[in-house]
Amino acid sequence: MYENYGFEHYVVDYNKKYKNDAEFKVRKMVFEENLNKIRMYNKNPHYTFEAGVNHLTDRIPSELKAIRGFNKPLFAKNYQINNKLIYIPIEVKDLPAQVDWRDKGVVTTVKDQGSCGSCWAFSVAAVLESHIAIQTGKLLEFSQQQLVDCVENPQHCGGTGGCEGATQDIAFQYAIGAGIALGSAYPYKAYDQTCKADKIKKVAGIQGFVQLPYNDYDALLNAVATVGPISISVDASEWSFYSKGIFNGPCGSTINHAVVLVGYGTDAKGNNYWTVRNSWSDSYGEKGYIRIAREKSAKDVKCEIDSDPAQGGGCDGGPSEITVCGLCGILSDSTYPTGGKLI
């Protein structure tokens, strides 16, 4: 695949426009390096996914790092989390074989965070949309920009705030008091602004949020099966190459991206997967989604050490290493809101 595909085809296919010849040459070099990597992925019979070109294939590493941007709310918290699980844990063997909250009409269309490191805000807004819909029957589209502009991050958890990164926890905490406005009232700009109080016409709110036990396979499976979509944290360093299938490639353990878990399942070949909503537009992956390889059971889960928590959601004063489990660290940190209501 892509044996006869070149940069000239890519420029036309993705309507790419560059400032000058110098940028054209740099983008071409980056594209060709990434295309070689895509070809290597697709020649490896071990992989259960297909790599492919997309709107990110000409981006340099620092640009890709910026759109991951984020996360890891594991430490130095100065607020209370409702850790009382509001679902009744079910034996894994009794859970549905497949769950996809998109089929229930409670998931909005995939959005594009652009070049702003606001994945945490997109993750939280999407999960709020789904949980408000589940609890009220009304599916609304909420403002990511309100979160980018107004969520304060004094402890530098996951970054310094806004497009420079924050965490889902502090965004959920903010929503408890401030509520959330519609995206149409406080539209997304993909850059930092001062908080615009006059645009915060809150239409919904929450009473609390739950932090699932860290690195707990059964807890995450239970929650997404019985409660709704879950805000999760991952290492997405290699995700830009994904096109379709079940991603089982090299992933890493440095948590650097916030996304939404909307379900799980097993394909016709018996490969288990998690279904994950990304925020890199619906042209990414499987209409904006990526399926990540899922272990058969909790006893099959493997863990690694994240030696750079500050790149993710670690806060000032946090530890220098943390343990993250599951492919891409997908089990490391999972959160969902409670008490969703319309205002």
Return the C-alpha torsion angle 214, 219, 220, 223, nearest 10: -130
R_g over Cα of the chain: 19
User: What φ, ψ does residue 311 adopt, rounded to 5°?
Assistant: -70, -25
Which of 157, 257, 325, 328 does the annotation list as catalytic? Answer: 257
How far out from the chain centre does Cα 323 lie? 19
Q: Is 79 exposed, middle or buried (0-12, 13-18, 19+ CB in 10 A)?
A: exposed
Which of 150, 278, 325, 328 does the annotation list as catalytic? Answer: 278
User: Running DSSP on this structure, what letter comes out for residue 210?
Assistant: E
Give the 3-state secondary structure of residue 213.
Answer: coil
Do 260 and 123 form a contact (C-beta atoms < 8 A)?
yes
d(CA 245, CA 196): 41
d(CA 146, CA 193): 9
Strands 303-306 and 322-325: antiparallel
User: Running DSSP on this structure, what letter comes out for residue 243?
Assistant: E
Which of 34, 54, 116, 119 does the annotation list as catalytic? Answer: 119
E strand segments, the chain: 49-51, 99-100, 204-205, 208-211, 230-234, 242-247, 257-266, 272-277, 289-293, 303-306, 322-325, 334-338, 341-342
Is 257 assigned a catalytic role?
yes
Which amino acid, one-letter code, is at 210?
Answer: V
Is 325 assigned a catalytic role?
no
* Residue 267 CB neighbours (<10 A): 12
Give the 3-state secondary structure of residue 333.
Answer: coil
Residues catalogued as catalytic: 119, 257, 278
